[in-house]
Amino acid sequence: MDIGKRRWQWPLTILAGLVAIAAHASGAPEQSLVQRIEALQAGYAVQVLGDAILARQTLQRFYENRGYRLAWAQESRREALADAIERLPRDGLNPADYHGELLQELARRPEATLSDDLIADRDLLFTDAFLLAASHLADGKVNPESIHAEWTLTGRRTDIVPLLTRALDNGSLAQTLQDLRPRNADYLKLVQAREHLSRLLGQPWLPIPDGPSIRPGDTDTRLPVIRRRLIALEDLSANASASSELYDGELEAALPDFQARHGLEPDGIIGRQTLDALNLMPVERIRQIDASLERWRWLPDSLGDTYVLVNIAGFRLQMVRNGKEVLHSRVIVGRPFRQTPVFSDRIRYLVFNPTWTVPRKLMIEDQLPEIQRDPDYLERLGIEVFEGWGADRRKVDPGSVDWDTLSKNRFPYQLVQGPGPKNALGRVKFMFPNRYDVYLHDTPSRYLFGRQERTFSSGCIRVERPFDLAEQLLANDMDWDRQRINDLLATGETTTVVLPIPIPIHIQYWTAWVDEQGHLQFRDDIYHRDGPLINELRHSALADRQLPTPVAVSPTTIAAGRIHKTH
């Protein structure tokens, strides 16, 4: 790169009298630095060597705190940051978003070859790079509300300025950036998996063609390619035969593990879905990992000493106590048109033998059509009908209601299902009151847990092992054990049990993670949320710069033409 040429690539003048910043073509670097910061304060966008300065307010505060002195005069500091920025792909971040190319070019450039203006420019670049990278590592690059409209969780929101000041003072720039990453072991395992998977980038990855399903004992010309693909992904031993066209026992032992890692039925049959998973390119897998890493950065530093974690896309619940998993369970989540929201809260109480008051939307959209089709529907499921609400409501004989005349605009009833084996909530529900009316609960439809993709609910989360979860949540209360829970269930009476200490619950959405055995897992993007997030992660704010055409010419050129007014 020719810095001399790039430095002057955006000649621009500004309107006379808009800002009171004196022209200064040469002079001490710190004077040049002050000029650029004054331009930022005046609302002008500053570009350095073609790259926009983006951490505008934080950068101003940093230099104000240090009396507008240069921060990056020492080559060792610049080298440390430039090298740390080059390592950001490990975390799914692009060095180009943090002036990576310019930092490498300027880090070791001899001071004698630079003008005062360029020394000031260099300082701004390095400060901007650190502030941006640190903010994105600590709190995420993408605003989660742009992907999850219902997002309510507040992340870490780290104040970067004092961190940069300390890092410059004690020479810990690289370590400071590293320490800003989430410290959760799941995040660090994903970072390692990404780095390991990156070895496949650039390797030939030709699509395996469609064809008849391949079963154990079959021969097929596609099998050598499938074998090599499984070896590359380390699902098949590197010592395995890579040329055989026979589906032998070696392959039969490896393929179900590959299928399970991708959320497929581990039946050992190579059909359309298995081929799709085999054809998933390394870069696509890495982008899934990048989306999951970003979602981890949105979360607080600590999820709690004891907490429940639900992965919607993984159809999985786990409970963690003091850093160790004490329970895991399959779950059923919301259908694509009734998605389970992403949020965090605290489980505050449990209800055994619950009743179910059907939400109005479900009464109209789900229950009413069933009642109209089947006159015995309500009696068969033990659902009672009430007219009105609250203390004034009265029980109504379902046979006296003309259901065919009802609609969403005329439905003056409540439907309430009593406790029992047919209750839609099962025998226990776990409550954390929230604006989405979402909670965890048991279910009588237990056969659905055998499905690989489990999007069957109306937004709430059905738990396969609800009584194990209840036992774990009540473990700190000496008055409760599994026998007492069973005795309470046997009474059939609706009973509320308040937890002495509410337990945090985090309902999240990851399509890539590393499991307890160290296996990298992938799942389908059931709610189509990865695509927008990946696009935002790949998008660079530095590519957005659009230089306006000047509408008038000032006799004074500011900072050698690198300042233009922000629109």
Catalytic residue among 148, 262, 460, 564: 460
H runs (alpha helix) in 298-397: 360-362, 368-373, 377-381
Q: Are 306 and 321 in contact (CB under 8 A)?
A: yes
Q: Phi first, then psi: give them for residue 392, nearest 5 degrees.
A: -90, 0
Using DSSP's 3-state secondary structure scheme, residue 246 falls into strand
Which two tokens mark 448?
């659905």
**What's the token pair of residue 145?**
């509300």
- Residue 3 CA, chain-centre distance (Å), reads 38
CA geometry: angle at 376 spanning 372 and 379, to 5°? 120
Tokens of 499: 């937890």
Residue 538 backbone zone (phi > 0: left; psi -120 to 50: alpha; other: beta): alpha
Phi/psi region, residue 413 (left: phi>0; alpha: psi -120 to 50; beta: rest), is beta
| DSSP single-letter state for residue 562 | T
3-state secondary structure 164-206: HHHHHHHCCHHHHHHHHCCCCHHHHHHHHHHHHHHHHCCCCCC
Provide the β-strand partners of residue 563: 46
Q: How far apart are CA 567 and CA 434, in angstroms?
A: 40
556 Cβ contact partners less than 8 Å away, ≥ 6 residues apart: 16, 23
The DSSP symbol for 108 reads T
136 labelled catalytic: no
Structure tokens belonging to residue 437: 């009316």
Q: Is 99 one of the catalytic residues?
A: no
Helix (H, G, I), strand (E, B) or coil at 134: helix
Q: Pick the catalytic residue from 99, 136, 441, 506.
A: 441
Residue 53 to residue 456: CA distance in whole angstroms: 48
Question: Could you give the strand order of the β-sheet that contains 413-417, starting from the edge strand earlier in sequence?
Answer: 356-357, 413-417, 383-387, 394-396
Here the tokens at position 551 are 């509408």
Q: What is the DSSP letter of 346?
A: E
The first and second tokens of residue 41, run together, are: 């304060």
160 in helix, strand or coil?
helix
Strand intervals (E) in 141-292: none
Handedness of CA 535, 538, 542, 545 (dihedral sign): negative
Residue bearing tokens 């619940």 = 317
Active site residues: 441, 460
